[in-house]
Amino acid sequence: MKIGELAVQTGLSNSRIRYYERIGLLKAVERMPNGYRRYLEEAVVILNLIVMAQDAGFSLEEIQSLVPDDLSRWDHELLAQALSRKIAEIEVQQAQLAASKAKLLAITDGIANRPEGLSCADNSKRVLSLVPINTFEDR
């Protein structure tokens, strides 16, 4: 299939498809005598996989290390380890986001419930002094 057909089937732009080909992620392509690209049917699967992996937080480099040249030869162990690592990374991010949200909610509550007679500036100082600066030790 030509690049336009592939773009329609995947919802990706022609330039994005060419980019994935240029960096070596998309190898299911042949050059016709007239110079046009002819994409194999598995290109749809590969491109959908790339998009799903990016949506899950994988970098292009990570995807490149996981996707085999031949889709029938997946390294099960490598894939399982990469998925487990990504899940662990997401869990850390979720914890960090939950802590950030809790801090912001505490600040919002403190600002919204300003003690009577306390200026906005003094209340801001009061509220911010109650919120711990570092939640995570690895910062």
Q: Which residues contact 69 (CB under 8 A, 6 or more apart)?
A: 27
Q: With contact defined as beta carbons under 8 Å apart, do 40 and 60 qualify? A: no
Handedness of CA 19, 25, 28, 34 (dihedral sign): positive
pLDDT tens per residue, range 36-80? 889 998 999 999 999 999 999 999 999 999 888 777 888 889 989
Domain ranges of the chain: 3-73, 80-130
pLDDT tens per residue, range 72-130? 888 889 989 999 999 999 999 999 999 999 989 988 999 899 999 999 899 988 888 88
Q: With contact defined as beta carbons under 8 Å apart, do 36 and 4 qualify? A: no
pLDDT of residue 134: 64
Q: With contact defined as beta carbons under 8 Å apart, do 136 and 96 qualify? A: yes
CATH architecture for residues 3-73: Orthogonal Bundle (1.10)
Q: Which residues contact 63 (CB under 8 A, 6 or more apart)?
A: 25, 49, 50, 53, 54
